[in-house]
Amino acid sequence: NAGVMQNPRHLVRRRGQEARLRCSPMKGHSHVYWYRQLPEEGLKFMVYLQKENIIDESGMPKERFSAEFPKEGPSILRIQQVVRGDSAAYFCASSPRQETQYFGPGTRLLVL
Amino acid sequence: KQEVTQIPAALSVPEGENLVLNCSFTDSAIYNLQWFRQDPGKGLTSLLLIQSSQREQTSGRLNASLDKSSGRSTLYIAASQPGDSATYLCAATRRGGSEKLVFGKGTKLTVNP
């Protein structure tokens, strides 16, 4: 059973470009969470999704950020018009149901 | 609003020593508390999960305890090894909440050979 997969592992974007981060949960897991870890900061919750539904997006910036978890395919975290402050490690986690969350290796985004 | 604090921020010990990492949380209405390990540039590895109805969990040399009344959890590592060097994070989920984890900033552990 493969773990949570995230790609790309590293992403470099120039200011104003779009960043798309993908997350494939573990097999059988229908709950996906995205977290962001800024340099020298702890992990902060961004959004919680179940298949085709956003359950809690209270940690998501109101502008430029969006997330989806379609019926088929990976979950996508999309950042439009990136700025330098978006540079961070973005982690995805999955769980079957109110249990241990299993984390992916993260995507490290660098905005030049 | 749940806040999670970990003390100390960094800890350096000689190999073989037993040690305790501390985690405190402000909202006692937690659903569970989870301890993770993070190696530099890597993702998070789940170590132990304690449900709110439990007092402790053990896995190998690791033992985690939970005291909701005082808002504290501890991670005990026995006979530390250089391979234990990493950042240890604790995180809580809230009962009735959306299962999101609220993390502390972590304790960076260095075990010297």
Span A5-57, pLDDT tens digits: 999 999 999 999 999 999 999 998 989 999 999 887 889 999 999 988 999 99
Question: How confident is the model at residue A106, as a pLDDT?
Answer: 95
For residue B94, pLDDT over 60 is answered with yes
Answer whether A45 sits within 8 Å of B36, measured CB to CB. Answer: no
Question: How confident is the model at residue B1, as a pLDDT?
Answer: 81
Answer whether B104 sits within 8 Å of A100, measured CB to CB. Answer: no
**Facing residue for B43 by CB, picked from A42, A100, A106:** A106
Contact by Cβ (8 Å): B77, B21: yes
**Local confidence band at A86 (pLDDT 50, 70, 90 cut-offs):** very high
Classified as helix, coil or strand, A84 is helix
Query: A68 to chain B nearest CA, in Å?
Result: 17
Q: Report d(CA B105, CA B10) in Å as an integer.
A: 11
Of all residues in chain B, the one with the smallest CA distance to A104 is B43
Q: Report d(CA A105, CA B11) in Å as an integer.
A: 25
Question: How confident is the model at residue B76, as a pLDDT?
Answer: 97
CB contact burial B19-53 (16+ within 10 A = b; e otherwise): bebebbbebeebebbbbbbbeeeebbeebbbbeee
Answer whether B43 sits within 8 Å of A91, measured CB to CB. Answer: yes
DSSP B9-51: SEEEEETT--EEEEEEES-S-EEEEEEEEE-TTS-EEEEEEEE
**Facing residue for A103 by CB, picked from B44, B49, B98:** B44
For residue A1, pLDDT over 60 is answered with no
Q: For tokens 């986690």, what's the residue?
A: A93
Residue B58 pairs in a beta bridge with B63
Interchain CB contact of B44 with A (< 8 Å): yes
Chain A residues whose CB is inside 8 A of the B34 CB are 100-101
Interchain CB contact of B19 with A (< 8 Å): no
Q: Of B7, B54, B90, B100, which to mutate for an interface test with A (greatest number of A Cβ within 10 Å)?
A: B100
Helix %, strand %, coil % for chain A, to 5? 5, 50, 45
Q: Single out the residue of B5, B4, B8 nearest to residue B109, CA to CA.
A: B8
Of all residues in chain A, the one with the smallest CA distance to B94 is A98
Mean pLDDT is lowest, of A37-46, B5-14, B81-90, B92-101, for: B92-101
Query: A81 to chain B nearest CA, in Å?
Result: 25
